[in-house]
């Protein structure tokens, strides 16, 4: 006769470590949520493009550098301000030569650029109001930082300047 030996059954519950797979799954869900948030903001915020003709401007970059050097050689200076004027704002620019004397008889155009969105950009033609001072009214849809890209033409000279102003 053969006797089978059996071990007595244990009454202790079997310990299962479910926290390990749960921790792994939880961490992976956090990674997916963070990546999804980053993808959303990358697709729905500022594109980084500042111009519509970026390819052509890249090709013409050497000409742009030459124009900037010619502009700097003139030695002209500009002091810009934006002041409230009722529901609008008045943009004033004082332009002087390298000695500080006011420059008259210029055709001055201004490109108001919002650094965070091209949707608010504006083109203005500034009119002379005093010797060497040019101004125009503008409706600014938002307060904050604005970039002023000036272009002044007088005779055969063309001068460019860029300034940033904070509108309160």
> Is 22 domain-assigned?
no
Q: Is the pTM of this model over 0.85?
A: no
Q: How many CB atoms lie within 10 A of CB 134?
A: 27
C-beta atoms surrounding 118 within 10 Å: 14
What percentage of the chain reaches a pLDDT higher than 90? 55
Lowest pLDDT segment from 3-7, 36-40, 103-107, 163-167: 3-7
Domain count, the chain: 1
Query: Residue 164's beta-bridge partner residues?
Result: 147
pLDDT of 20 higher than 70:
yes
Question: Residues 152-159: what's their mean pLDDT?
Answer: 89
Range of the domain at 148: 54-167
* Res 117: pLDDT: 77
Asked whether residue 77 carries a pLDDT value surpassing 70, the answer given is yes
Residue 42, in any domain of the structure: no
CATH code for the domain in which residue 98 is found: 2.60.40.1930
Cβ–Cβ under 8 Å, residues 146 and 163: no
Is there a contact between 97 and 73 (Cβ–Cβ < 8 Å)?
A: no
Residue 133 lies inside a defined structural domain of this protein: yes
For residue 142, tell me if it sits in a domain. yes
Per the domain annotation, does 10 fall within a domain?
Answer: no
Residue 16 lies in a domain: no
Residue 46's alpha-carbon distances to 28, 43, 91, in angstroms, are 29, 8, 26
| Strand ranges of the sheet holding 133-138, from the earlier edge strand across to the other edge | 77-85, 88-96, 133-138, 117-130, 107-114, 144-154, 157-167
Task: List the single range of 36-50, 94-108, 111-125 with lowest mean pLDDT.
Answer: 36-50
Q: How far is CA 4 from the centre of its chain?
A: 83
Residue 41 maps to a domain: no
For residue 153, what pLDDT is reported? 92
Q: CA separation (Å) from 63 to 68, 69, 166?
A: 9, 10, 30
Diameter over CA atoms, the chain = 126
């Amino acid at each position: 006769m053969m006797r089978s030996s059996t071990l007595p059954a244990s009454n202790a519950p079997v310990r299962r470590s479910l926290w390990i797979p749960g921790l792994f799954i939880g961490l992976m869900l956090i990674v997916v949520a963070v990546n999804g948030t980053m993808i959303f903001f990358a697709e729905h915020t500022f594109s980084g493009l500042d111009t519509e003709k970026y390819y052509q401007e890249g090709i013409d970059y050497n000409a742009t550098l030459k124009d900037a050097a010619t502009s700097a050689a003139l030695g002209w200076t500009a002091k810009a301000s934006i002041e409230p004027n009722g529901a609008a704002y008045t943009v004033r620019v004082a332009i002087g030569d390298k000695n500080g004397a006011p420059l008259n008889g210029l055709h001055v155009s201004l490109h108001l650029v919002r650094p965070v969105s091209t949707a608010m950009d504006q083109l203005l033609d500034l009119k002379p109001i005093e010797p060497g001072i040019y101004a125009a009214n503008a409706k600014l849809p938002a307060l904050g930082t604005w970039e002023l890209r000036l272009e002044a033409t007088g005779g055969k000279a063309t001068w460019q300047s860029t300034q940033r102003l904070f509108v309160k």
